[in-house]
Amino acid sequence: PQSQAAEQQTQQQDEASSKDSAVESKSDEGSATPAAKASTDKIVILLRPTGNAPILTKKKWVVGRSQRVGWVSEFVKKALKCQPDESLFLYVNQAFLPAPDRDFGGLYDCFGADGKLTLHYCKTQAWG
Amino acid sequence: TTPDSIQRQVWDGKLPVCFVLPEDPDVPPLYSLVPRVGYFPALLDRLRAHLSRHAGIDEDSPGAQQLWLRSAGRPLRWHLPVGLLYDLERPKPPPLPWEVEIRTRDFPTDELVSFGPNNSLESYFLYCLKEADALKHRARVINEMGEREHRQLWQGLLNDQFDQFSVVNRKLMEGEAKYLPFRIYQQGADGGLSVLQCLAKPHREDSTPLTLSDLLRICLPNFTDPVTLATHGVSLPMETPLAWAYDKLAYPDNFLHLVLQPGRCNSAGDGESSAMQLDSSSES
């Protein structure tokens, strides 16, 4: 039930943030300044298991643009109840592992769309 | 001048580094000429051998296995190329040889990537290439390569073999790029590092070349202060076409790594840390 609540909350945030960005992009109309993308300060990340990774109950996470990959990776490790010595790999584009100090803003601008960025996770290296 | 000469000079750039062990002043420093385009973790075996010989720290001991590097009180983010790390110390670059501290305790897990058998520097390097090719060619070129060619890129870099590296790398650098892979770094006063990366096409909408000042406008639309972008120890004129800079000055990981610092570029001679002279007109 707790995770369901979290999911709901995420969806609410999701709606709220998309509402916000719609308002912002409207007010930006006609001016040459910030791109609509840059004005959304929250990003929804969708986590999909790959290989033999266990399934997460909470698949949708909302993160700030300045949030680091390493921080989310630790969070997911806790959610999956990983042992301290176990690794977790978060892939972008089903192709590469971003360094833990990368922020989601830059990753989203290059590899995300519609406020969402999909990440594939696994406990052993899946691609590469 | 051959078309490759700038890439060759970039490849040959070296930094004299002096590795010291502050916790034991009796241990002699280790001097090394380190390729700017290389990575510090590639030297870990040599550093461990040095500590084992002079400090009695066994190569398999936790201290030697967990060692990390520090400069000016900050952990060196060693998943970034050596030359970029030195350029991040601008505008006051440390005197050469660059004194780098070896630490055997308190590995800063939050800030540093821990390289090991499960997570090698080689695979990290390959992921950089994959990300770059995803931006340039929707990952088509890197995916068409075999594992042998991937290894050749890494071995060429590790063993300082330019020809071995560039014969494969040329395939990645050729062809029309959809977006040019770059990152702009800004070292904060608090030691934090901010990294900017966004989509940048080689050309403007009117199909004239996109320049570095266009790039800044895209990445930092609200930024009006005069700034300088530098790479390989050289400040670049703002009118430099991004595609030219990328083609000539990208690191082996296929990213153009630019360091942002306040102040206008005094273009002529601030190559304080690099013997390299860049001249776009020398291109044939």
User: What is the number of other CB atoms lying within 10 angstroms of the CB of residue B14?
Assistant: 18
Q: Which segments of chain A have a pLDDT < 70?
A: 1-40, 126-128
Fold exhibited by the domain B121-173: Serum Albumin; Chain A, Domain 1 (1.10.246)
pLDDT (tens digit per residue) in B180-195: 999 999 988 777 888 9
- Per-residue DSSP letters for A56-87? PS--EEEEETT-BHHHHHHHHHHHTT--TT--
A97 lies within 8 A of chain B by CB:
yes
Distance from CA of B81 to the nearest CA of A (A): 13
3-state secondary structure of A123: coil
Q: Which ranges in B104-211 belong to alpha helices (H)?
A: 121-137, 140-144, 147-158, 162-173
Q: Which segments of chain B have a pLDDT < 70?
A: 1-3, 118, 265-284
A109 lies within 8 A of chain B by CB:
yes
Point out the residue among A33, A92, A99 whose CB comes nearest to the CB of B221: A33
Distance from CA of A94 to the nearest CA of B (A): 10
pLDDT (tens digit per residue) in B224-251: 788 999 999 999 999 999 999 999 999 9
- CATH, domain range B3-103: 3.10.20.620
- Set of chain A residues whose Cβ sits within 8 Å of the Cβ of B113: 99-101
- Closest-CA residue to B149 (of B166, B174, B127): B166
Domain range list for chain B: 3-103, 121-173, 182-262
d(CA B183, CA B195): 7
The architecture in CATH of the region B182-262 reads Roll (3.10)
The pLDDT, as a whole number, for residue B272 is: 41
- In this structure, which CATH number among 3.40.50.720, 3.60.150.10, 3.10.20.90, 3.30.428.10 belongs to the domain A42-122? 3.10.20.90
- Residues of B numbered 219-248 whose beta carbons fall under 8 angstroms of chain A's beta carbons: which are they? 221-222
Residue carrying structure tokens 């997570």: B119
The nearest alpha carbon in chain B to A123 belongs to B118
A interface test, pick of B112, B183, B198 with most A CB neighbours within 10 Å: B198
The pLDDT, as a whole number, for residue A125 is: 74
Q: Are the beta carbons of B37 and B250 closer than 8 angstroms?
A: no
- Closest-CA residue to A106 (of B212, B169, B255): B255
Q: What is the 3-state secondary structure (H, E, C) of A26-57?
A: HHHCCCCCCCHHHHCCEEEEEEEECCCCCCCC
pTM score = 0.84
Q: Do domains B3-103 and B121-173 have the same CATH topology?
A: no
The pLDDT, as a whole number, for residue B95 is: 94
Q: Are the beta carbons of A71 and A78 closer than 8 angstroms?
A: no
